Amino acid sequence: MGNNNFLPAHNKIRYQRTSYMTHNFKGICNFEVHDCDCSKSVEQFHKFYTASRKKLFKDMGWGTWSEKNDLGYQNYLEVLESGDYKLGYYENEFSYRIPAQIKCCGTWLSLGKFTNTCSKCGADYNGSGQLLASRSQWGEETGEHWFECV
C-alpha cells in the first residue's frame, strides 16, 4: 500500500533536439536552434533562428529586436546569403534528479534541501520526509543552534 502524501525522489531524462548550421567563415561561430529538426529546410531553420534571436533579446532585456541591432543575426545572414553552409541535427540526453516531495497542509513541499520547511505551518522535514523535532529542541545534546542546520 502506497503513501499518498509522499513522492520519492527520482531521475528524469530530458532530450534536447538541436539543429545547426555549420560554415567555414573565420571569426563567426556556428548557429543553432533547439527543440526542432530543421536539417532538411533552410526556410524552417531561418524561421526558428529568427524566433530564437527575438526571444534572446526579450529574455536578456536588450530592448526591441531588429536585424540592425543584432550582430549575431547579421553574421547569420552573411553566412546564409553566401550559400556556403551545411545544416545538421543531433539529440542530447540529459538526466536530472527530482527531489522527493511530501504533502503538508494540503500543499506539496519539495525535499531538495537539508532542512525543508512548510510555509504554512512551519513544520520541518529532512530530505527523506521525516518530520523533525521542533527547532527549539535542536542542538540540545550537541550545543548547536537551530539556525546552523537550516
- The DSSP secondary structure of 120-143, one letter per residue, reads TT--EE-TT-PBPPPGGGTTTTT-
Does 23 lie in the same domain as 53?
A: yes
Residue 1 resides in a domain: no
Answer whether 135's CB lies under 8 Å from 141's CB.
no
Q: Indicate the pTM of the whole model.
A: 0.65
Does 86 lie in the same domain as 110?
A: no
Answer whether 51's CB lies under 8 Å from 59's CB.
no
Strand pairing category for 31-34 and 124-125: unpaired
Rounded Cα–Cα distance for residues 21 and 42 (Å): 9
Rounded Cα–Cα distance for residues 64 and 58 (Å): 7
Whole-angstrom Cα Rg for the chain: 25
Digit-by-digit pLDDT tens for the chain (150 residues) are 457 899 999 999 999 999 999 999 999 999 999 999 999 999 999 999 999 999 999 999 999 999 999 999 999 999 999 999 999 999 999 999 999 999 999 999 999 999 999 999 999 999 999 999 888 787 766 677 666 666
Q: For residue 91, give its domain range.
A: 11-96
Answer whether 48's CB lies under 8 Å from 33's CB.
yes
pLDDT for the residue numbered 135:
83
Residue 49 resides in a domain: yes
Does 77 lie in the same domain as 54?
A: yes
Which three cell numbers, joined as nine digits, stand for 65?
529586436
Residue 87 resides in a domain: yes
